[in-house]
């Protein structure tokens, strides 16, 4: 779940899609039934305190109503600089997936200085079994970035067209400060306040033996595939057009680098990426001081999911 920078223009010849049938559908309270809270120390060293389900419900950090599932951070407490970080939430799906397609219908994502929201999939015993970051960014600095992280050994993602202009293509977590191999989206509506101003949108990810693709459609794009927009019971990724990011298996054995994955949704603050990039973000003070002393600044630091559909 970290950084690398590339822009991508794709041709339809790059990706071969497939047909899938819906296996799981999560809406509202369904998220609470299908995900578990991870009250763990933040692996990315953020200024957060991940809480358990009881605390999250009691403090309204997660709640569900109708087709809304909201996950947020505390936005009322001034923190003791010597105490724990700001209460926040990290949840993980109870089920694991391999070859599959996923669609995330999101109305709102966390925004604000110091925020580092992420929607991703990961295998057990990280970095063994790999990691796929679908939605990720820091400090309101869009657009979105999709990234792969793997164990050492041959796994590079040489983007097939020069127009992709990837600066880093080695997915090894132990080099380049765990930057992985990433693609920066072209659509500025894919992240942060701009995403929210346009009413959110849909992220989709397909994982197969031939590669990993990630798509984004803004709520007002006018080009959203019908089966994505409605969360149809069957989908064909051939109908989805050019992905926003594509990682080919040309020089990466997907089966050996990526095992069964859980879905993770979390919001951290500062830490390895948002903290290190804070000085270049035009945000005030230092990241930790800002998080400690400005709870009001995190009123908009929340996810609002309309639904999540998974296809196998």
- For the chain of 312 residues, list the mean pLDDT of each consecutive stretch of 10: 42 64 98 97 98 98 97 98 98 98 98 98 95 98 94 70 50 85 92 98 95 95 96 97 88 88 98 97 97 98 98 98
3-state secondary structure (DSSP) of residue 234: strand
What architecture is the 12-311 domain classified under in CATH? Sandwich (2.60)
For residue 167, how many other CB atoms are within 10 A of its CB? 13
State residue 15's pLDDT score.
Answer: 56
Instruction: Name the strand (E) or helix (H) holding 287.
Output: helix 287-293
| Residue 13: per-residue pLDDT | 42
The chain-wide mean pLDDT, for the chain, equals 91
Give the Cα separation of 299 and 69 in Å (integer).
16
Going from N- to C-terminal start, the domains of the chain cover 12-311
- The C-alpha atoms of residue 41 and residue 48 are separated, in whole angstroms, by 8
Q: Tokens 């041709």 — which residue?
A: 11
Token pair 């903290």 is at which residue? 275
Catalytic residues: 131, 136
The DSSP bridge partners found for residue 21 are 234
Q: Are 259 and 123 in contact (CB under 8 A)?
A: yes
Structure token pair of residue 274 = 């948002």
DSSP 28: T
For residue 303, whether the previous peptide bond is cis, meaning omega lies within 30 degrees of 0, is no
């Amino acid at each position: 779940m970290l950084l690398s920078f590339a822009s991508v223009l794709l041709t339809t010849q790059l990706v071969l899609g497939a047909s899938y049938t819906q296996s799981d559908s999560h809406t509202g309270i369904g998220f609470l039934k299908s995900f578990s809270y991870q009250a763990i120390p933040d692996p990315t060293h953020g200024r957060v305190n991940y809480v358990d389900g009881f605390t999250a419900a009691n403090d309204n950090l997660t709640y569900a109503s109708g087709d809304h599932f909201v996950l947020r951070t505390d936005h009322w407490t001034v923190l003791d600089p010597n105490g724990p970080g700001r209460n926040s939430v990290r949840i993980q799906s109870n089920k694991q997936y391999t070859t599959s397609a996923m669609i995330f219908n999101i109305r709102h994502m966390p925004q604000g200085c110091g925020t580092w929201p992420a929607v991703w999939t990961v295998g057990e015993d990280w970095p063994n079994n790999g990691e796929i970051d679908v939605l990720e960014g820091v400090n309101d600095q869009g657009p979105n970035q999709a990234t792969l992280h793997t164990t050492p050994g041959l796994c590079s993602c040489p983007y097939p067209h020069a127009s992709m202009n990837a600066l880093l293509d080695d997915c090894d977590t132990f080099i380049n400060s765990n930057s992985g191999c990433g693609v920066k989206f072209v659509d500025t509506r894919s992240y942060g306040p701009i995403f929210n101003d346009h009413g959110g949108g849909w992220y989709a990810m397909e994982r197969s033996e031939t590669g990993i693709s990630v798509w984004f459609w803004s709520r007002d794009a006018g080009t959203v595939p019908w089966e994505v927009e409605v969360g149809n019971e069957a989908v064909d990724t051939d109908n989805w057009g050019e992905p926003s990011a594509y990682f080919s298996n040309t020089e990466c054995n997907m089966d050996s680098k990526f095992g069964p994955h859980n879905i993770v949704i979390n919001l951290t603050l500062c830490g390895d990426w948002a903290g290190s990039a804070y000085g270049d973000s035009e945000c005030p003070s230092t990241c930790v001081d800002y998080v400690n002393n400005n709870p009001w600044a995190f009123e908009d630091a929340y996810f609002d999911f309309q639904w999540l559909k998974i296809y196998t």
